[in-house]
């Protein structure tokens, strides 16, 4: 893990300096960031089948999901890391024909069962994808990387953000010929994690799906209001 201090988003020398002493403040906004390697991936995959009969479509989908869940469990995915997040059965309608007086009809049904799966061992991610696809997963709606324990990175980014805001306030006070006073208030805005440049991971075997793990950037932003001492 390495820490990177980013620049200031906004720095404001309050117009209140021209007002009464109790309104003389310097307000700064600081940002801190931490670049770190993800150690967890979240997948959204599932099975979808179409059939003229609703029961048959759902049965085929359920059979496929059962096989996928069994394969995931065999690959070492814990039950707490597998969750159904969408189960649907939708009619399939005939095409609309403006030249025909016939009403649109239901021609079949589409059954879908989607799973959210957390993979905590990224070395197995490519092989897990390969296995579940081979066992019937035919719908894949995304992959995201994250941290199993994000707090250390969040704390480090928050500390960098405060340092950034303090440094900027000191620079402003010096440039303005005033003395920086005590902190009046601190507020935090929403932090976030975003993927950085990806590096293609080597496939564990020729059949594995290649995965780019790359890095995450965890950011924090704080606003600090300082009194002006003189």
Which band of pLDDT confidence, cut at 50, 70 and 90, is reported for residue 133?
Answer: confident
pLDDT, tens digit, for every residue of 37-89? 999 999 999 999 999 999 999 999 999 999 999 999 999 999 999 999 999 99
Of 158, 219, 213, 174, which is closest to residue 37 (Cα–Cα)? 213
Torsion of CA 79, 154, 45, 203, to 10 degrees: -100
**Is the CB of residue 118 less than 8 Å from the CB of residue 148?**
no
Which band of pLDDT confidence, cut at 50, 70 and 90, is reported for residue 135?
Answer: confident
Of 56, 64, 58, which is closest to residue 138 (Cα–Cα)? 64
For a pLDDT cut of 70, what percent of the chain falls above it?
A: 80
Place of tokens 């939708």: 90
203 half-sphere exposure, CB direction, 13 A CA radius: 10
Two tokens, residue 210:
């290649």
How far apart CA 118 and CA 146 sit, in angstroms, is 10
Of 217, 154, 163, which is closest to residue 186 (Cα–Cα)? 163
The yes-or-no verdict on residue 5 having pLDDT over 70 is no
- Secondary structure letter of residue 116 according to DSSP: E
């Amino acid at each position: 893990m390495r820490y990177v201090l980013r620049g200031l988003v906004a720095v404001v020398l309050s117009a209140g300096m021209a007002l009464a002493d109790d309104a003389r403040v310097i307000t700064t906004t600081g940002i801190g960031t931490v670049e770190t390697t993800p150690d967890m991936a979240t997948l959204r995959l599932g099975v979808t089948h179409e059939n003229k009969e609703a029961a048959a479509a759902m049965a085929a989908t359920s059979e496929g999901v059962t096989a996928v869940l069994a394969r995931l469990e065999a690959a070492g995915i814990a039950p707490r890391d597998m969750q159904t997040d969408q189960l649907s059965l939708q009619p399939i309608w005939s095409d609309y024909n403006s030249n025909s007086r016939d009403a649109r009809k239901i021609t079949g049904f589409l059954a879908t069962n989607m799973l959210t799966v957390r993979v905590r061992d990224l070395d197995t991610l490519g092989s897990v994808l390969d296995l579940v696809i081979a066992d019937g997963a035919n719908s894949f709606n995304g992959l995201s990387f994250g941290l199993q324990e994000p707090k250390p990175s969040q704390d480090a980014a928050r500390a960098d953000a405060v340092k950034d805001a303090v440094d900027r306030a000191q620079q402003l006070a010096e440039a303005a010929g005033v003395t920086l006073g005590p902190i009046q208030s601190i507020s935090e805005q929403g932090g976030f994690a975003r993927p950085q440049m990806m590096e293609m991971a080597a496939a564990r075997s020729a059949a594995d799906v290649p995965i780019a793990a790359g890095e995450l950037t965890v950011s924090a932003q704080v606003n600090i209001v300082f009194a002006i001492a003189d």
